[in-house]
């Protein structure tokens, strides 16, 4: 059809490609309402073009976002991502000092654990809720919850109040961790997304690196409550900026219709399954044996509820909170497995390397935090490089392979960490792990996103990020159990050899500053250093199964072409 109104009526076909400002539309036949008897060719063309324009705009979320607005949006998302990641690590080296102020050292580790628990449980929920309520609305809810939790923590006058605040804060943190990646999928095309999501990876890396250092510096030089107050002047202005910068339409439908779309039963069952499971991971080997009735009972109950959750999501829910059909995609399944292993392979060094520095090298809290910088610098470098490669060549699978190999090599070399290992060797080993992490942390998300329908983008993004955090908690729990069991056994043996120092020896398990207090004789001090060195060596060996499974899972990915146009991600 030439579109010039020829007298001969020809049936227009939409298998020709119509290009518009926003998208390329390909159809198979002309719309039925166009092919009415007596229609002229010109009428048909005009109607066809109108139909095409309508379909075109439906394939994207909104008109093209300007570069300036896009950059402002990215900066705002990076700040939210940064502050959420910061609260995961800022207490890593100082939670002992804070819990000592409440005279409750036994529950001190929960200051970190409960934040990870609530963050993990909340992550998959925000993605689906944002599909129903809207992206900015979901971010607003996350920021408000996070700020309320921060205020409760800063004002806490007891350990119970502090832990409650951390739990609330973690729920908001789960939204702040998942929503930036979701919104990135709304405002960028898959081919270009790597360039922009590399900034998110850099934000996570910087937060993970400076968190322990910042926490140590604040506790050493000021009031620990500042750790929580600093969240407010970052989150609130950022939310205001995003209000004006984001140009994403809200989902259609009335409030009643939106409420019907929310999978309340699935949400409840998910929480009742995942929260006890994470608690069991936290208990195992830390106060309770893995084979104890309490731990096994909670795990069995969690699995049982999980089975019910799967049935509800599969057979009952109209819009499942975790759409099971996503796992039909090989890339989504592979990305989930890979992210789970990555969580264990990366969270473990972030937690245990500072501990090794404190106990074996006698570093201060601030110095111990600085020692993790090589890992994060390596990650920032390759995250940026991977984004450029994806945008230039449209390839990502090769970087996922490199990611798995480098992380496996870097973690394997951790067994070389000894008291006499040079700074250069330690920096090089951690940098290898960081380089691998940078190649995969956002590339894995993009590989999953490009393999699903646009409307499944938010749920997919939240799912794979959730798997990374869950893997981190699982890995930390298993490896902490290995560490604690080894330390307790060796501490008991040292206590028998030095009965007059038995209490001090066991105090070092919770407070490594005792090692450098000057209260221990040289021979005993060397024994304690060996105790930590041998125990940490077992932890580093324990990373091997996670590294191996990650390498194998990278082989499951298949290449899917990346779209150069934005896709519709909101109903």
DSSP assignment of 175-196 equals HHHHHHHHHHHHHS-HHHHHHH
User: What's residue 134's pLDDT?
Assistant: 86
Higher pLDDT, 552 or 563: 552
Residue from 211, 146, 152, 209 nearest 179 by CA? 146
CA distances from 352 to 177, 219, 418, 419 (A): 23, 20, 14, 15
Other Cβ atoms less than 10 A from the Cβ of 243: the count is: 12
Q: What angle do CA 279, 282, 285 make, to 5 degrees?
A: 130
CA distances from 134 to 63, 139, 252 (A): 17, 9, 9
Q: What angle do CA 380, 383, 389 make, to 5 degrees?
A: 145
255 CB contacts (<8 Å, ≥6 apart)?
Answer: none
Decide if 55 contacts 27 (C-beta within 8 A).
yes
Taking the alpha carbons of 465, 470, 475, 480 in that order, is the dihedral positive or negative? positive
How confident is residue 18, by pLDDT bands cut at 50, 70 and 90?
very low
DSSP, residue by residue, 20-65: -SS-EE--SS--GGG--TT--HHHHHHHHHHHHHHHHHHTSSSSPP
Is pLDDT at 240 greater than 80 in this prediction? yes
Beta-ladder partners of 38: none
Is pLDDT at 36 greater than 50 in this prediction? no
Among 170-174, 219-223, 413-417, the least confident range: 219-223
Is pLDDT at 550 greater than 90 in this prediction? yes
Backbone torsions φ then ψ of 19, nearest 5 degrees: -105, 130
% of the chain beyond a pLDDT of 90 = 26
User: What's residue 4's pLDDT?
Assistant: 40
User: What's residue 461's pLDDT?
Assistant: 86
Instruction: Tell me the domain boundaries of the chain.
Output: 1-59, 67-263+318-484+543-554, 264-317
Residue from 85, 528, 64 nearest 343 by CA? 85
Q: What is the mean pLDDT of the chain?
A: 80
Cα separation, 153 vs 225, in Å, equals 8
- Coarse DSSP helix, strand, coil percentages of the chain, rounded to the nearest 5 percent: 75, 0, 25
Is pLDDT at 286 greater than 90 in this prediction? no
Backbone torsions φ then ψ of 24, nearest 5 degrees: -110, 130
Is pLDDT at 199 greater than 70 in this prediction? yes
- Summarised one tens digit per residue, pLDDT across range 370-419 is 888 898 889 889 988 988 888 888 888 999 999 999 999 999 999 999 88
% of the chain beyond a pLDDT of 70 = 85
- Summarised one tens digit per residue, pLDDT across range 55-96 is 333 344 445 677 888 889 999 999 999 999 898 888 877 777
| Burial track 500-526 (b if 16+ CB lie within 10 A, e otherwise) | ebeebbbbbbebbebbeeeebeeebbe
Decide if 446 contacts 201 (C-beta within 8 A).
no
**Which 8-state DSSP code applies to residue 285?**
T
User: What's residue 19's pLDDT?
Assistant: 35
How confident is residue 510, by pLDDT bands cut at 50, 70 and 90?
confident
User: What's residue 34's pLDDT?
Assistant: 37
Q: How many helices (H) and strands (E) does the chain have?
A: 22, 2
Q: What angle do CA 59, 457, 560 make, to 5 degrees?
A: 85
Cα separation, 365 vs 217, in Å, equals 8
pTM: 0.77
- Summarised one tens digit per residue, pLDDT across range 429-441 is 999 999 999 999 8
Cα-atom radius of gyration of the chain, to the nearest Å? 26
Cα separation, 449 vs 456, in Å, equals 8
- Summarised one tens digit per residue, pLDDT across range 292-348 is 888 889 899 999 999 999 999 888 887 888 888 888 899 999 999 999 999 989 888
CATH number listed for the domain at residues 67-263+318-484+543-554: 1.20.1250.20
Cα separation, 126 vs 130, in Å, equals 6
């Amino acid at each position: 059809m030439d579109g010039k109104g020829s007298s001969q009526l020809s049936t227009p076909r939409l298998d020709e490609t119509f290009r518009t400002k926003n998208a390329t539309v390909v159809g198979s036949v002309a719309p039925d309402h166009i092919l009415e008897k007596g229609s002229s060719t010109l009428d048909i063309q005009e109607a066809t073009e109108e139909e095409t324009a309508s379909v075109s705009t439906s394939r994207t979320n909104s008109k093209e976002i300007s570069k300036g607005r896009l950059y402002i949006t990215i900066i705002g998302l990076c700040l939210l991502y940064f502050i959420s990641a910061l609260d995961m690590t800022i207490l890593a080296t100082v939670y002992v000092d804070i819990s000592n102020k409440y005279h409750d050292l036994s529950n001190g580790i929960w200051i970190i654990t409960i934040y990870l628990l609530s963050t993990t449980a909340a992550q998959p929920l925000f993605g689906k809720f944002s599909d129903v309520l809207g992206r900015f609305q979901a971010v607003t809810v996350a920021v408000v919850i996070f700020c309320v939790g921060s205020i409760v923590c800063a004002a806490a006058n007891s350990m119970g109040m502090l832990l409650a605040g951390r739990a609330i804060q973690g729920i908001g943190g789960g939204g702040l961790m998942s929503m930036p990646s979701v919104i990135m999928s709304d405002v960028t095309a898959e081919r270009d997304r790597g360039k922009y999501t590399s900034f998110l990876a850099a934000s996570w890396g910087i937060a993970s690196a400076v968190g322990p250092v910042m926490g140590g510096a604040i506790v050493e030089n000021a009031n620990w409550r500042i750790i929580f107050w600093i969240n407010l002047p970052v989150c609130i202005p950022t939310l205001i900026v995003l209000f004006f910068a984001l140009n994403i339409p809200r989902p259609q439908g009335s409030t009643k219709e939106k409420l019907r779309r929310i999978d309340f039963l699935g949400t409840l069952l998910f929480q009742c399954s995942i929260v006890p499971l994470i608690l069991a991971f936290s208990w195992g080997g830390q106060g309770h044996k893995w084979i104890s009735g309490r731990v096994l009972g909670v795990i069995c109950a969690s699995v049982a509820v999980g089975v019910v959750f799967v049935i509800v999501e599969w057979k009952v829910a109209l819009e499942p909170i975790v759409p099971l059909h996503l796992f039909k995609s090989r890339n989504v399944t592979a990305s989930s497995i890979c992210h789970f292993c990555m969580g264990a392979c990366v969270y473990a060094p972030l937690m245990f390397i500072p501990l090794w520095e404190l106990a074996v090298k006698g570093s201060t809290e601030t110095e111990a935090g600085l020692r993790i910088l090589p890992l994060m610098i390596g990650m920032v470098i390759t995250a940026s490089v991977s984004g450029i490669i994806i945008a230039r060549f449209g390839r990502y699978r090769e970087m996922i392979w490199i990611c798995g190999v480098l992380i496996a090599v870097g973690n394997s070399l951790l067994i070389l960490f000894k008291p006499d290992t040079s700074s250069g060797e330690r920096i090089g080993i951690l940098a290898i792990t960081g380089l691998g992490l940078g190649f995969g942390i956002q590339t894995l998300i993009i590989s999953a996103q490009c393999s699903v329908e646009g409307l499944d983008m938010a749920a997919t993004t939240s799912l794979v990020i959730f798997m990374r955090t869950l893997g981190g908690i699982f890995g930390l729990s298993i490896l902490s159990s290995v560490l604690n069991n080894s330390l307790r056994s060796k501490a008991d043996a040292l206590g028998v050899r030095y009965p007059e120092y038995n209490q001090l020896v066991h105090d070092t398990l919770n407070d490594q500053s005792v090692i450098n207090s000057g209260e221990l004789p040289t021979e005993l001090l060397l024994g304690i250093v060996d105790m930590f060195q041998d125990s940490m060596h077992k932890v580093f060996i324990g990373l091997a199964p996670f590294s191996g499974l990650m390498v194998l899972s990278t082989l499951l990915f298949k290449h899917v072409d990346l779209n150069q146009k934005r896709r519709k991600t909101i109903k």
